[in-house]
Amino acid sequence: MTVGIDKIAFHVPDYFVDMAELAVARGVDPNKFLIGIGQDKMAVIPKTQDIITLGANAAAKILTAADKKEIDMVLVGTETGIDYSKSAAVVIQQLLDISPFVRSYELKHACYGGTAGLQQAKEYVLNHPDRKVLVIATDISKYGLNSGGEPTQGAGAVAMLVTNNPRILELSDDNVFYSENVYDFWRPNGHDYPLVDGHLSNDIYIEGFKRVWHESNQRHQRSEKDYAALTFHLPYTKMGRKALQSIFPEISEAEQNRLMECYEESILYSRQVGNLYTGSLYLGLISLLENSTSLKAGDRIGLFSYGSGAISEFFSGRLVEGFKEQLQPAKDEAALAERQQLNVAEYEAMFAESLPEDDVETEFSDSTPYAIRKIAQGIRYYNQ
């Protein structure tokens, strides 16, 4: 029996700011953001949308009425939760009309939460092959206006349906994981924005990748030649590139070129969106699968997941015959192309808006699916 990703989709907000314009407004050479960071556009989200809106929209793209009856677990990975106690998973379960006979909860370990969900889903389906698990990775990445992390912000969600005999990617049982207690990025209770030692996080990420990559090759008697492509957590697209290049001294030029070509295909969507935190690795996977012309059934894809704090995990999966038919490249390209561009002043205004903090009932007029229509007594009510 095989278990893995049967369906996958992403959702991003309808607004973006151009990174060259942002650089000029910040008095920075645009090439720092375009080349040095590797981002062209950054998603911007209005106050009437949140991780639930993003996650519900992503999941709505893949679920059928039959799926909703066969799902046993709804797992939401996020590091931008909206409630200390209540899980976003149960709200999404209700919004999408998924059977209430489900186990629903949130998972947290910085940008790793989606991978934690995916692995739990895999193990559950191995034991319950006729059931399905919905995994959602959803986040809003905000470091603050004029902050060092500003060019690495973004927002969005990826939803994955994990099943027996999946039609996209069969997950292998080859995970190598490594945890170390580091303060490279953290957000203590009460802080609107994370505290971050950006350069330390870059170093820990690269060291983490090299460690689990080498360990995996040793444990499983593999090398880069066993992988059709390597995909990375993408806080910004230069980050995964640096990690990939860190192993180049060990591999031939032909292998370097082959892996770099696939890397370029895996970052096409992230370049236009920015950081999805938990969803970034999986947006990269979608971008690779939808844009690659060389991948074929049976190919092994390596995935590197990183969560500050810190955990590094490397695992892989094999592409299934017909995987392309389960993807929606034209729709995804259109969704990205049809977004509305904000100028820097509009971005700053949207960024600064927030929901009322008192418990006074307030109504909103965002008619997009699953947007917040009302807030009262700390309860968010969504369009359905």
Q: Which residues bind ligand COA (CB under 6 A)?
A: 29, 31-32, 35-37, 148-149, 151-152, 196, 198-199, 201-202, 205, 235-236, 238-239, 308
For residue 32, the tally of other CB atoms under 10 A from its CB is 13
Asked if residue 290 lies in contact with residue 57, where contact means CB atoms within 8 angstroms, the answer is: no
Angle, helices 88-95/51-60, rounded to nearest 10 degrees? 40
What DSSP designation does 147 have?
S
Residue 152: exposed, middle, or buried by beta-carbon count in 10 A (0-12, 13-18, 19+)? buried
Query: By C-beta, is 166 or 274 nearer to ligand COA?
Result: 274
From 11, 79, 265, 313, the catalytic residue: 79
Check if 11 is active-site. Answer: no
Identity of the residue, 126 or 200, whose beta carbon is nearer to ligand COA in the bound complex: 200
Segment (H or E) for 42: strand 41-44
Q: How far is the CB of 53 from ligand COA (least distance, A)?
A: 24
Q: Which of 11, 106, 109, 111 is catalytic?
A: 111
Which of 11, 170, 233, 313 is catalytic? The answer is: 233
DSSP, res 343: -
Three-state secondary structure of 244-301: HHCCHHHCCHHHHHHHHHHHHHHCCCHHHCCCCHHHHHHHHHHHHHHHCCCCCCCCEE
Output 199 or 374, the one with its CB closest to ligand COA: 199
Nearest approach in angstroms of CB 82 to ligand COA is: 22
Residue linked to tokens 């559950």: 124
How many angstroms separate the CA atoms of 137 and 159, rounded?
Answer: 6
- Which DSSP string do the residues of 84-138 spell out, in sequence order? SSS-HHHHHHHHTT--SSSEEEEE-BTBTHHHHHHHHHHHHHHHSTT-EEEEEEE
Q: Minimum CB separation from ligand COA for residue 238, in Å?
A: 6
CB of 339 to ligand COA, least distance (A): 22
Catalytic residue flag (residue 79): yes
Active site annotation includes 333: no
Which one, 93 or 201, has the nearer CB to ligand COA?
201
Q: Which is nearer to ligand COA, 31 or 165 (CB)?
A: 31
Nearer to ligand COA, 152 or 326 (CB): 152
- 3-state class (DSSP) for residue 373: strand
State the minimum distance, in angstroms, from the CB of residue 199 to ligand COA.
5
Token pair listed for 301: 């894809």
CA 323 → CA 7, 8, 62, 326, 336, distances in Å?
A: 9, 11, 14, 6, 22
How many residues make up the chain in this entry? 384
Kindly tell me which of 198 and 369 has the beta carbon lying closer to ligand COA: 198
35-52 as b/e, with b when 16 or more CB fall inside 10 Å? eebbbbbbbbbbbbbbbb
Q: Which residues are registered as beta bridge partners of 140?
A: 155
Residue 307 Cβ vs ligand COA, minimum distance, rounded to whole Å: 8
State the nearest-atom distance from the C-beta of 236 to ligand COA, in Å: 6
Active site residues: 79, 111, 233
